Amino acid sequence: MLSPAGSPAKLLELGAEKSPEDETCRVIVGDVLEVARTLTYDEIAGTVSCVYVDPPYASQADYVHEARLDGGADGRLTRTLAYEDSWSHESYLDMLAPRLEALVHLLSPRGTIWVQVDWRASHFVRLLLDEILGPQRFLNEIVWKRAPNLGRQAASSQFGRTLDTIIVYGKKEAKLSPPTRLERIDEKAIRWDDQGRPNTLAPRGDYTDLSVARLEKEGRIHRTATGKVYIKYFLVKDDEGHWCRERRVDALWTDVAPLRHAKLGERTGYPTQKPRALLERVIQASTQPGDLVVDLFSGSGTTADAARALGRRSIVGDRSPVAIANARARLLRSGASPSIEACEGCALPENDAQATVTRVSERRVRIELHAPSEPLAWTVGPLEESALRRVWHTERIPGAQAVAAERAIEIDHDPKSTLGIRAYEDDGNVATIEIASRDLPARGRSAAFSSMRQPDRNRGKNK
Ligand SMILES: C[S@@+](CC[C@H](N)C(=O)[O-])C[C@H]1O[C@@H](n2cnc3c(N)ncnc32)[C@H](O)[C@@H]1O
């Protein structure tokens, strides 16, 4: 178990960005071990309903984030190394074992841990979780078909490796609630009972006599002339008006489409991003609204995005600044209001930013960002105890026609407080311009500011 001994990681206020509304979505920069230890000291340990992680798979590859800067499919691209995934067997186990242990430590007595990997690591994860939680805590090995069997896979001398494995273990009181899905029924197989209800029949299978008696009361038993028992499944219509049978989802997931079939706006360009629908299924099966979901290998923030859509709280983390910058931008685009924090020693890399601030009136300023020239996102608000309270933000919008972040904004600003301007770049660099109230330009005047230099009041000019 994670030992509480040693120095706890403190969440640094410096560089933090506060959500103006609530604390339902936290994004933390840092290694899983540091973040998990921090959460333990934050008294989160023992309260988490679902930990989902999609760690590196030991694929021996480098993963590059790709973002379209603006315009259509042939528009300009920027590429940045997001993370490296090269390991020996030994070093991979050394990395994963303590991190899984630290994550398990966060679970509530009903909590479950879901670990998504592929053929390269699934055997390690089973062994590690058997060791950490005990083999009796194994719940499922889910197979997700993530790609069609095409190209090199199909032509190889093996069966195509077109699937990921999601290994699920739970604490003592854990129970999953698998959802149902609609399966279309061939018109010819539809029967209508004497009350005019459409249904299909299936053999009684392993239903006990007691269950058959219960189903009989519900009008769901059909007996043939020879006395054979069949179960009636009543049908419902799907959105397109086809008759369907509701089926409980099993551990073979072939109905969650790969990310490339998702809407363009969902694709962040982060390598190895998973579809939101996959995470929605995981979260729905293992949590209730308001529960806490944690993913500390969170990449582009899919888990937090799905948790928000389903009314769950989330804490996500990653040690890659590229991942953090993209997750932050994505969550803000989708209407979440994440707070951004960093473990000690894990602050995001800094870069220069330059902006012109014009004092429009006593309590109103216009801000024009000059550098970075094509930010992934930037935000403005008062700096309080070194943390920026976001009051306005803009992000580049991906999609069929990527739209660049806005370049200028006019906002209300209390002249007694320090004004903060923070810009995020695709490579994970962050720059913060800090403008103390004494440095704000006089009414009707402008001044240039930089994150690296002191304000240059001589460059102020009349507007
Ligand atoms: C497979 S990706 C996760 C993708 C994510 N599920 C998504 O939908 O975007 C794995 C992530 O783990 C992060 N990572 C690797 N080692 C880490 C560590 N020790 N601590 C924190 N994050 C780590 C990488 O930076 C990468 O973003």
Predicted local distance difference test score (pLDDT) of residue 453: 55
Distance 299 CA to ligand 1 centre (A): 5
Q: What is the amino acid identity at position 77?
A: L
Strands 252-253 and 138-145, by their bridges, are parallel
Q: What is the amino acid identity at position 126?
A: R
DSSP states along 229-291? EEEEEEEEE-TTS-EEEEEE--SEE-SS--GGGS-GGG----TTPPPHHHHHHHHHHH--TT-
Strands 163-170 and 180-184, by their bridges, are unpaired
How does pLDDT run across 54-103, given as a tens digit for each residue? 999 888 889 999 888 887 777 788 899 999 988 888 999 999 999 999 99
Of 16-20, 155-159, 439-443, 444-448, give the lowest mean pLDDT range: 16-20
Residue 21, pLDDT > 70, answer no
First to last CA, the chain: 62
How does pLDDT run across 329-347, given as a tens digit for each residue? 999 999 999 999 988 888 7
Could you tell me which residues are beta bridge partners of residue 4?
none
Task: Please state, rounded to an integer, the average pLDDT across all residues of the chain.
Answer: 90
CA 382 to chain centre: 28
Strands 364-371 and 408-412, by their bridges, are antiparallel
CA distance 194 to 444: 82
Residue 53, pLDDT > 60, answer yes
Does 23 or 269 have the greater pLDDT score? 269
| Element holding 378 (H helix, E strand) | strand 377-384
How does pLDDT run across 160-208, given as a tens digit for each residue? 999 999 999 999 999 999 999 999 999 999 999 888 999 999 999 999 9
Helices (H), 64-179: 89-104, 122-133, 151-155
Name which residue sits closest to atom 25 of ligand 1, judged by CA: 320
Longest CA span, the chain: 100
Predicted local distance difference test score (pLDDT) of residue 73: 73
Question: What is the pTM (predicted TM-score) of this model?
Answer: 0.90
- Buried b / exposed e over 313-325, threshold 16 CB at 10 Å, is bbbbbbbbbbbbb
How does pLDDT run across 216-263, given as a tens digit for each residue? 999 999 999 998 999 999 999 999 999 999 999 999 999 999 998 888
Give the nearest ligand 1 atom to 300 CA: 9
Predicted local distance difference test score (pLDDT) of residue 41: 83
Block residue for tokens 């982060």? 270
Q: What is the amino acid identity at position 164?
A: D
**Residue 132 main-chain phi, psi, to 5 deg:** -75, -45
Distance 194 CA to ligand 1 centre (A): 57
- Residue ranges of domains in the chain, CATH in brackets: 11-175+250-343 (3.40.50.150), 180-248 (no CATH), 354-462 (2.60.40)
Distance 303 CA to ligand 1 centre (A): 12
Name which residue sits closest to atom 2 of ligand 1, judged by CA: 299
Pocket of ligand 1 (CB under 6 A): 31-32, 54-56, 83, 270, 272-274, 296-300, 302, 318-320, 323
Q: Which two tokens stand for residue 195?
A: 């009350």
Is the N-terminal amide bond of 372 cis, ω within 30° of 0?
yes
Give the nearest ligand 1 atom to 55 CA: 10
- Cβ 94 vs Cβ 100: under 8 Å: no
Residue 456, pLDDT > 70, answer no
Nearest to 348 by CA among 315, 314, 320: 320
Predicted local distance difference test score (pLDDT) of residue 20: 66
